[in-house]
Amino acid sequence: MSLLYSIDLFGTAIFAISGVLLAGRLKMDPFGVLVLASVTAIGGGTIRDMMIGATPVFWIHDNNYIWVIILTSLATMLIVRRPKRIPWYVLPVCDAIGLAAFVGIGVEKALSYQASYLIAVMMGVLTGCGGGIIRDILAREIPMVLRSEVYATACIAGGAIHTGLLTFGFTSNNAMLGGIFVTLAIRLAAIRWHLSLPTFALKRT
């Protein structure tokens, strides 16, 4: 099993957990939980594959992704049904880990389809943020990427480091791991210290 494939399945599981936890907070039924987990885990990658021409999309010809989502969702629902309170930081930290992994995967896959470095970074951002955007829309929340939190910015930074390391001669695996680390570090720092970007607001006259 390659490093990229292992990280891809790991990110799928982490994003599925993120979707399940949000569904639980909104008191969805089991079908709703599975839907939210699925769109969070594979939504961004699905859009990415359609845009770069990697069809059929990854989870259609490799059902391991679907099984990971189903099994992760069931396990998470069983675990979180315990009366013990879940710490507030579990959801954002899980989301940060999945985000970082998916950005690296998106950049690497786009490059494998001969995309330029700029497009590869954009595909990394889409892979990392796309599923979360769909998740939040279905949950009737403003997508995190559209708020002032340091979210898409972390993806851009990680993608830029990923492609930058390739420019300096690093191997694809090392470059991907470097980009993943940068994305994760920035996102966790933003969660820990409540970092945010300045907002754009029109003044009323």
Tell me: the pLDDT tens digits for 155-189? 999 999 999 999 999 999 899 999 999 999 999 99
134 located within any domain:
yes
pLDDT over threshold 60, residue 14: yes
Residue 55 has pLDDT above 80, yes or no: yes
The DSSP code for 29 is -
Question: Which of 15 and 200 is assigned the larger pLDDT?
Answer: 15
Q: With bands split at pLDDT 50, 70 and 90, how would you rate the model's confidence at 132?
A: confident
Amino acid identity, residue 23?
A: A
Helices (H), 53-148: 58-61, 64-80, 90-112, 117-138
Nearest-angstrom CA–CA distance, 110 and 99: 16
pTM above 0.75, yes or no: yes
**pLDDT given at position 204:** 72
Q: Are 150 and 187 in contact (CB under 8 A)?
A: yes
Domain count, the chain: 1
| Residue 162 is assigned to a structural domain of this protein | yes
In a domain, 200, yes or no: no
Give a yes or no: residue 87 inside a domain. yes
pLDDT for 117: 97
Q: Quick check: is 88 in a domain?
A: yes
Residue 203 lies in a domain: no
Domain limits for position 70: 3-193
Asked if 66 and 149 count as a contact pair (C-beta separation under 8 A), the reply is no
pLDDT reading at 79 higher than 80:
yes
**pLDDT reading at 66 higher than 60:** yes
pLDDT category at 148 given cuts 50, 70, 90 is low
Q: Is position 102 within any domain? A: yes
